[in-house]
Amino acid sequence: RYGLSASDRELIFMSFCFDGAHERWLSAVTHGGTVVIRPEKQWDLQETYENMHAQRVSVVVFPPVFLRELAAYVEQIGNPPPVRVYCFGGDAMPQASFELAQRVLKPAFFINGYGPTETVVTPLTWKALPGSSFDSVYAPIGEVLGQR
């Protein structure tokens, strides 16, 4: 579903206290990819943008609000990061934020990962290819992954 390969470089932006962070670094490692870990100091928007370029990040997961802010920043300055897959989760993604990110960032696809921690890390995903849209207020939570 994520289409990971050994050439991917995944930025672990989330805290390691978040179960989704473990899913992401493990996914990168099991596919032979590179894990890019930010320092303890939280990066601001500009530092994140610059490091995504410098580290050639191809896969990243952000909370929807940060993804929206990144898209707004890139809309102002141009030159989107070389990210192939943007994942988002941890909160609902408003339609307007998704449309901005899709228009400005232009990845191969987006993935909305959803899952209450009480069950499994990510039991549902919605994969949005270029041109994908939805009529609801928030992005769909997607389809069940595997036999759960």
Predicted local confidence at residue 116, as pLDDT: 65
What domains lie within the chain, and their CATH numbers? 9-144 (3.40.50.980)
d(CA 10, CA 47): 16
Our CA dihedral for 129, 147, 15, 56, rounded to 10 degrees, sits at: -40
d(CA 13, CA 141): 21
* Helices 45-54, 64-77: inter-axial angle, 10-degree rounding: 80
- Backbone angle region of 118, left / alpha / beta, with phi > 0 → left and psi within -120 to 50 → alpha: alpha
The model's pLDDT over 68-120, given as tens digits with 9 standing for 90+, comes to: 999 999 999 999 999 999 988 878 899 999 999 999 999 999 988 876 666 66
Radius of gyration of the chain (CA): 14
Q: What is the pTM of this model?
A: 0.85
